[in-house]
């Protein structure tokens, strides 16, 4: 996706608030789709950790190509990573798109990533999930026809209370009220609630009611076209009780390993996650690597694949409280070769019952190196000088023999010097072990 002509044209059109999309590329496979989505939305990022360089504010419902570019062309001169992450938890927003794109000017795509999603009418929130970048956030409105002018149908809105209840249905200690609104036309613009006859207030997250007594919640929603829903009502009672542990655990992650001057980890990084809970205690810890499934965490995780990585982590206590999801990003690069080759020596030939070789034996050497090439493989027989090994060596002198062997790689690293022994006797007796092979 680093074609210069497309990148230059895309950058120019982004400045004008327009988008050109002749081809859509999957963020998962890196291959071109045969048909591009009819609508393309582009986000760009640069050196700022408080805002995206550019972002859309409105869109039309339907199949859409999401483009996220964080490259030198969009103003990133520090190789700083950013994400484009769609919010799937905050009330008041659509949660049907779980896009989470990580981009870095130095990654395999040059910082430009694409994925195809289906948008529905309503409002979406997005943010950068990199620690310290959470001020990079925004929202955009999706309408059925791009303007919502023909929408005359109000939103539908509902509310429910949740919490621990007694046998009479009263909530013990507190109740949490969640309001949900949907609109199939221009999309939901705002949601409001009123508690016990007070003023209507903007609704953005579940409302906790912990005062003992009878309560009445009124709620309503307005869509982008200005249609207001009928006012809904929800009544419930809160009674005294032991609230118990309502505080989630705290969780953190530490990445360790050998690093280069730019902070990249050489060959591998180890991720250790720590969770604490002062109430009921930690029940479980989970982690997610590079967008995969959340897995149980029990010991430090070693990440040895070369490239950019993102780890998400969370913890749950015995009372069921779940921590906020933490994130940690890092890069693994291939480290320098500092280890010598591994050498194997084998002796073969016919042997008698005492495992002595009859008349002659053949010495074979082999060497491998994980990072560079084997440059030198040599041996020394019976205290003699070191000799370069090129093919199996026949030894036919009777008696006990001692062979030393070693190798060097192309970086000059030497293997351990090893040795082994074998014995050759006269070939007069019959072979008990024919063509026997022994590793020294």
pLDDT at 242: 59
Q: What is the pLDDT of residue 9?
A: 34
Q: What is the pLDDT of residue 436?
A: 67
Distance between CA atoms of 294 and 314, rounded to whole angstroms? 9
14 and 127 in a single domain? The answer is yes
pLDDT score recorded for residue 34: 39
Instruction: Report CA torsion sign: 380, 384, 389, 393.
Output: negative
* Residue 8: per-residue pLDDT: 37
What DSSP character marks residue 427?
A: T
Range of 57's domain?
4-143
pLDDT for the residue 30: 37
End of a domain among 185, 205, 239? 239
For residue 329, what pLDDT is reported?
95
Q: Is the CB of residue 147 less than 8 Å from the CB of residue 225?
A: no
Query: What pLDDT score was predicted for residue 4?
Result: 37
Q: Which residues of the chain have pLDDT under 50?
A: 1-34, 148-149
CATH number at residue 139: 2.60.40.420
| pLDDT at 14 (0 to 100) | 37
Looking at the domain assignment, is residue 114 inside a domain?
A: yes
**Do 34 and 66 fall into the same domain?**
yes
Same domain, 218 and 177: yes
- State whether 259 and 183 are in the same domain: no
Residue 383 is predicted with a pLDDT of 95
User: Do 325 and 286 form a contact (C-beta atoms < 8 A)?
Assistant: no
Residue 45 sits in the same domain as residue 121? yes
Task: Report if residue 149 sits inside a domain.
Answer: no
Q: Are residues 126 and 46 in the same domain?
A: yes
Quote the CA–CA distance of 148 and 59 in Å, as a whole number. Answer: 11
Per the structure, the count of domains in the chain is 4
pLDDT at residue 439, as a whole number: 82
Q: Which of 219, 239, 259 is the last residue of a domain?
A: 239
Token pair, residue 273, equals 């996650």
pLDDT number for residue 168? 87
């Amino acid at each position: 996706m680093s074609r210069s002509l497309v990148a230059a044209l895309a950058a120019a059109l982004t400045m004008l608030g327009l988008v050109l999309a002749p081809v859509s590329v999957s963020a998962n496979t890196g291959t071109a789709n045969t048909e591009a989505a009819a609508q393309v939305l582009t986000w760009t990022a640069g050196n700022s950790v408080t805002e995206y360089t550019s972002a859309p504010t409105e869109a039309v419902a339907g199949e859409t190509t999401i483009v996220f570019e964080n490259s030198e062309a969009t103003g990133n001169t520090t190789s700083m990573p950013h994400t484009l992450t769609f919010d799937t938890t905050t009330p008041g927003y659509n949660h049907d798109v779980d896009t989470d794109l990580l981009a870095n000017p130095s990654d395999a795509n040059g910082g430009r990533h694409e994925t195809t999603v289906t948008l529905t009418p309503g409002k979406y929130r997005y943010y950068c999930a990199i620690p310290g970048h959470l001020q990079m956030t925004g929202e955009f409105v999706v309408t059925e026809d791009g303007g919502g002018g023909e929408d005359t149908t109000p939103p539908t809105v509902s509310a429910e209370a949740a919490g621990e209840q007694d046998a009479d249905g009263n909530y013990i200690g507190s109740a949490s009220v969640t309001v949900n609104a949907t609109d199939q036309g221009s999309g939901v613009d705002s949601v409001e609630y009123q508690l016990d006859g007070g003023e209507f207030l903007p609704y953005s997250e579940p409302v906790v009611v912990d005062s003992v007594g009878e309560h009445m919640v009124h709620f309503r929603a307005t869509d982008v076209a200005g249609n207001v829903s009928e006012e809904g009502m929800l009544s419930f009672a809160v009674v005294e009780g032991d609230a118990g542990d309502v505080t989630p655990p705290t969780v953190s992650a530490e990445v360790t390993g050998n690093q280069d001057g730019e902070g990249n980890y050489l060959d591998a990084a180890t991720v250790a996650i720590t969770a604490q809970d002062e109430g009921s205690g930690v029940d479980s810890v989970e982690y997610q690597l590079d967008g995969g499934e959340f897995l149980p965490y029990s010991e430090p995780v070693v990440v040895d694949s070369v490239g950019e990585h993102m780890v998400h982590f969370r913890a749950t206590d015995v009372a069921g409280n779940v921590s906020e999801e933490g994130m940690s990003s890092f890069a693994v690069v291939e480290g320098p070769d500092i280890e010598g080759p591994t050498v194997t020596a084998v002796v073969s030939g016919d042997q008698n019952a005492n495992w002595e070789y009859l008349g002659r034996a053949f010495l074979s050497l082999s060497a491998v190196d994980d990072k560079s090439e084997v440059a030198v493989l040599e041996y020394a027989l019976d205290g003699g000088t070191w000799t370069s090994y090129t093919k199996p060596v026949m030894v036919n002198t009777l008696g006990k023999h001692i062979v030393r062997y070693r190798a060097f790689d192309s970086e000059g690293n030497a293997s351990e010097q090893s040795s082994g022994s074998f014995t050759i006797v006269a070939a007069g007796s019959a072979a008990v072990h024919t063509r026997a092979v022994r590793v020294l």
